[in-house]
Amino acid sequence: MQLGILRRMIPPMSWLAVVLVEAGLTTLAAASVFLLLRRRHLVFKTVEERATLRTLAFATSAVSTLRQGLTTRTALKVLRSLVPQSGGPAASLYDTRNLLGFQAAPGSRADHHARHVAEESEAVQAALASGRTRLVRLHTQEPTSPCPLRVAVVAPLTVDEQPVAALVTYHSAEPSPAQLSVATDLADLLATQLRLQRADQQQAALVRSELRALRAQISPHFIYNTLTTITSFVRTDPERARDLLTEFADFSRRAFRGPSSEFTTLADELVYVNQYLKFEQARFGDRLTVRYHIDPEVLSTVVPALLVQPLVENAVKHGIEPRLGKGQITIEADDQDDECLILVRDDGEGLEKPLDLAEHQGALGNIDRRLSHIFGPAHGLEIISEAGKGTSVRVRIPKYRPGVKAS
């Protein structure tokens, strides 16, 4: 009840963190208690105590399979590990439309029930829709059925306060309180994994949304300036105009390709940055110089797409363009053990006051949020600026992070 109230009180993005914390604490607590109880296994004398131990043991095993989503494949994989912990000879998983999988304990006669699961589907779906644990009587129309199962416990799996699936445990007689408790506890553990999977999906969707927004922020002013610059070379230097136009076509393709390109290698990102700077150097002439210092070891590092180019564009627009004289932009990527340190520095106008990235709606705030979502809050942007002396933007990228790979 308290968790439901909390969900309604906090904003959607904060709720992702709550789900992750809830799941992490659940798993950590289950693992800790399980290890403690395992150490004292000799004191488990009652059915209830042994049921509790089985449930906690299962919490540390195959339930994480559901982080991949609830499908026929994952349901069957979970059920194979779940049946020995379920307190009954068989178990099944349903979603809100269909039976996803049925599994009987090896050597039991419960596998006979696989022929009859269709008969129970309507009752199971009704129990699932209620959102409460219910008993379903089996073979009521055929009391002499050779199938030994007589009662099913339907325990809904709730995500965002809605029943989205059900764990069904089967029994040959009226289930005991301990068996009912095991069924509901296991359903809660499975639901936690589904909530984590939902959070993963929402976080991935948010990152894609941020990337689309960043692509949409590519300055129309920059496009106009680039085309104007190319036009100015058509008569004075036609060959350079052709080269710039070809580069601009490739630059535009990279800039506006689909959101599936969420990550890229640092090498590819620097190619993109170099293209951008060709246009700006054509526009500014000798007013703009660029210095690179790139450790070869970090070129294969996977980074979020459009990470460095907006930082460089920001340096040109707010650092170099406003000043009267010449300016320099420095781009560095340093190998630092298990991390890559990226630095974009200009010697331009600098900032009069610190930038609040949490409130910033431009490219820098967008990038900072994306980095936090992907790598954690320790990997956001670090901005150091001094009025009249320039601005440095640093970011640390882990060289390896599970699930982060270039497409």
User: Is 211 domain-assigned?
Assistant: no
Residue 241 inside a domain? The answer is no
59 domain residue, yes or no: yes
Average pLDDT over residues 85-99: 88
8-state DSSP, 41: G
For residue 339, which phi and psi values (nearest 5 degrees)? -130, 160
Residues 65 and 149 in one domain: yes
Asked if residue 56 belongs to a domain, the reply is: yes
Helix residue spans in 103-176 (DSSP H): 117-130
Q: d(Cα 4, Cα 147) in Å, to the nearest integer?
A: 40
Interval 238-267 mean pLDDT: 78
Over residues 265-301, the pLDDT tens digits come to: 999 999 989 999 999 999 999 999 999 999 999 999 9
**Distance, CA of 75 to CA of 101 (rounded, Å):** 6
Task: Note whether 13 and 157 are same-domain residues.
Answer: yes
Pairing assessment for the beta strands 288-294 and 327-336 based on DSSP bridges: parallel
* 100, 171: one domain: yes
Cα 49 to chain centroid, rounded: 37
Residues 175 and 312 reside in one and the same domain: no
Last residue of a domain, one of 161, 177, 202: 202
Q: What is the CATH number of the domain that holds 290?
A: 3.30.565.10
Q: Which of 180, 202, 224 finishes a domain?
A: 202
Residue span of the structural domain in which 314 resides? 260-398
Collapsed DSSP state (helix, strand, coil) of residue 2:
helix
Mean local confidence (pLDDT), 1-22: 43
403 in a structural domain:
no
Do both 267 and 188 map to the same domain? no
- Whether 19 and 145 share a structural domain: yes
Distance, CA of 400 to CA of 297 (rounded, Å): 13
Q: 76 in helix, strand or coil?
A: helix
Q: Alpha-carbon Rg of the chain, whole angstroms?
A: 29
Position of tokens 């941020």?
210
Note the pLDDT tens digit of each residue in 334-362.
Answer: 999 899 999 999 998 888 777 777 666 67
In DSSP terms, 162 is beta-bridged to 159
Domain count for the chain, please give it: 2
Beta-carbon count within 10 A of 11 CB? 7
Q: Is there a domain that residue 305 lies in?
A: yes
Same domain, 268 and 178: no
Whether residue 205 is predicted with pLDDT greater than 50 in this model: the reply is: yes
- Whether residue 359 is contained in a domain is answered as yes
State the pLDDT at residue 19. Answer: 46
Average pLDDT of span 106-119: 82
Residue 99 lies in a domain: yes
- Considering the domain architecture, whether residues 63 and 183 belong to the same structural domain is answered as yes
Q: What dihedral angle (degrees, nearest 10) is formed by the CA atoms of 328, 330, 331, 334?
A: 170
| 66 pLDDT more than 80 | no
Tokens encoding 377: 């809050």
